[in-house]
């Protein structure tokens, strides 16, 4: 399997990952957590776990997801707060039918909400 490296600011190091990954969600998709009561919009995707070891070790061992799967950066919200979340693919479900996300940073990254997802603002794409 062909591999590549990318720098992760969260991990503070180069992270090695497969060159091809099957991400279930895309930037702009609305998702919700499988276990916890929050939802969000995907604004970045890591092909494998790319956060700090402290972050990973803080997750109880019985709940700790595998490292070798996509991880999603979300503009997340629950009934009380808006925040940034970092979530493994195994813990997310599609949730576009539940409407838009009200996170205050959505308008900085995305244009209109249409057909259950957001479109990335022009000029922010590669």
Domain ranges of the chain: 3-120
Which residues lie below 8 Å from residue 60, measured CB to CB, with a gap of 6+? none
CATH of 3-120, one of 2.30.30.390, 2.60.120.200, 2.20.25.160, 3.40.50.2300: 2.30.30.390
The model's pLDDT over 19-36, given as tens digits with 9 standing for 90+, comes to 788 899 999 999 999 999
Give the helix/strand (H/E) hosting 54. helix 53-57
Picking from 74, 72, 76, 73, the residue whose alpha carbon sits closest to that of residue 102 is 76
DSSP 79-112: SS-EEEEEEEGGGEEE-GGG-----TTHHHHEEE
Picking from 118, 122, 126, the residue whose alpha carbon sits closest to that of residue 43 is 118
The model's pLDDT over 115-126, given as tens digits with 9 standing for 90+, comes to 999 999 887 655
What is the pTM (predicted TM-score) of this model? 0.89
């Amino acid at each position: 399997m062909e591999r590549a490296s990318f720098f992760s600011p969260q991990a503070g190091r180069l992270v090695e990952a497969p060159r091809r990954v099957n991400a279930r969600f895309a930037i702009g998709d609305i998702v919700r957590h499988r276990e916890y009561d929050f939802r969000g919009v995907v604004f970045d995707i890591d092909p494998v776990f790319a956060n700090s070891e402290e972050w990973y070790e803080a997750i109880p061992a019985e709940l700790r997801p595998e490292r070798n799967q996509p991880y999603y950066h979300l503009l997340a919200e629950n009934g009380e707060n808006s925040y940034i979340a970092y979530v493994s693919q195994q813990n997310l479900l599609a949730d576009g039918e539940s409407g838009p996300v009200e996170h205050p940073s959505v308008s900085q990254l995305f244009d209109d909400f249409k057909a259950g997802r957001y479109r990335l603002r022009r000029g922010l794409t590669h």
